[in-house]
Structure 1
Amino acid sequence: MSYPPDPNNPNNPYGQPPAAQGYGYPQQAPPPPAAGYGYPQQAPAYGQYGYPPVAAPPQSMPGLMVTARVLLFIVGGTQVLAALFCLIGAAAAKDVVSNSDSSDEGLLALGNAAAGVAAVIGVVFALAAALSITLGVKFGKGGNSVRIITIVYGSIGGLLGLLGLLGSFGAEKGQAANLVVALLWVAISVIWITAVCTRDGVNWFNRPRY
């Protein structure tokens, strides 16, 4: 009894020849190289268009920023007290000059000048206090302009502190007190500038606001 030829038999002359790999036929892809020497363990993560992903904005104020903010409030309160002291002193000096029975024109002019200088210093302290407190308040929701104003304010404060240091070495009386005040002012100014110039500070002021 004869059977029909098996089409899958390679010896069958009537069967279909096996397909050879080559042109027109898909070839088996080689296996991927194992991670090791000469091959990266893990491809670096990149964001859109091949750039590294942007760091997420901080959700809370950085620690150094909190310190700078507290110092702004403390300095602002001290400046308010200094402004009140100068203005009260100017008013008292003016009252003394007005009620004086002295006929010395030079003494009266000197008293009026002292009262005027004290009043001007008191106004300067009041303006500085307003700026310090406003910057401290704006640290929470302020933008990049607050950061720039803080840098300028800290730079001016640091320069005044350095001038105070130079002047304290030439003073015979109160040298230690002047030196401590000047050093504190320089240190506070450096903290202000450093806090807003660090990466965390820049990201904080440039964070998106909704």
Structure 2
Amino acid sequence: MRSGAPNSSYGYPGHPTGMDMPGLMRGARVLLFVMGGMQLTVGVLVASLLAGIVANAGGSIADAVAIVSVLLGLGALSIILGTKFATGGGGVRVTTIVYASLMIVACLGSLGLGDGFGLIFTGGPVIGLACGGIILALMVTAQAGAWFNRPR
């Protein structure tokens, strides 16, 4: 229920209000949108750079297409998960937890190897590690469980 209007929505008496999304869920949702935007932006930049490199060096176009496809796919997944927070159930929560866990593993691997593997998730392993950790921490709280298991 909204704290300012116990049984009304936008000033209409008798009109029931739904649960408001908890602040922690809104924070995770914003991070998912930010991560998705970064992944899509980096995907487009990598696509343009790899197209130039492949054209000049005569390299394999399949490698460039694979990297760009992963970047754009992960960006789209992140944005889709963020949009499903308002209406989604437990599957959205589990998928977000798996997504954040994979992001953490990829960024830790990138830091351990010392290469640009973290580029797949965010454009940098440190940023990806921080965002993945925050998203994961927010998704395993009791508020997240209550939000995604609520009756619709």
Provide TM-score, normalisation by structure 2.
0.76
Deviation (angstroms), 1:184: 2.1
CA offsets 1:130-179 (integer angstroms, 9 cap, x no match)? 100000000111100000001111110010111122123xx7xxxxxxxx
**Structure 2 residue 148 is the aligned partner of structure 1 residue 205:** yes
Partner of 2:47: 87
2:133 is matched with which residue? 190
Match of 1:63 in 2: 23
Structure 1 vs Structure 2 CA RMSD: 2.0
What is the CA–CA distance in structure 2 between the aligned matches of 1:142 and 1:196, rounded to whole Å? Answer: 13
Runs of 4 or more above 4 Å deviation: none
Which structure's residues are more often helix, by fraction?
2
| Percent identity (aligned) | 37
Distance 1:119 1:149 in 2: 25
Q: Which structure's relative contact order is higher, taking Cα pairs within 8 Å and 6+ residues apart? A: 2
Question: How many pairs were matched up?
Answer: 128
Inter-partner Cα distance in structure 2 for 1:69 and 1:90: 31
CA contact (8 A) 1:85 1:122 kept: no
Rg comparison, structure with higher value: 1
Letter of the 1:112 counterpart: G
Q: Which runs of 5+ in 1 are unaligned?
A: 1-57, 98-110, 172-179
Q: TM-score, normalised by structure 1?
A: 0.56
1:125 Cα deviation after fit: 0.2
- Describe how 1:146-161 pairs up with structure 2 within 5 A: 146-161=92-107
Unpaired segments of 5 or more residues in structure 2?
1-17, 116-122
Q: How does 1:98-137 map to 2 (within 5 A)?
A: 111-113=58-60, 115-137=61-83
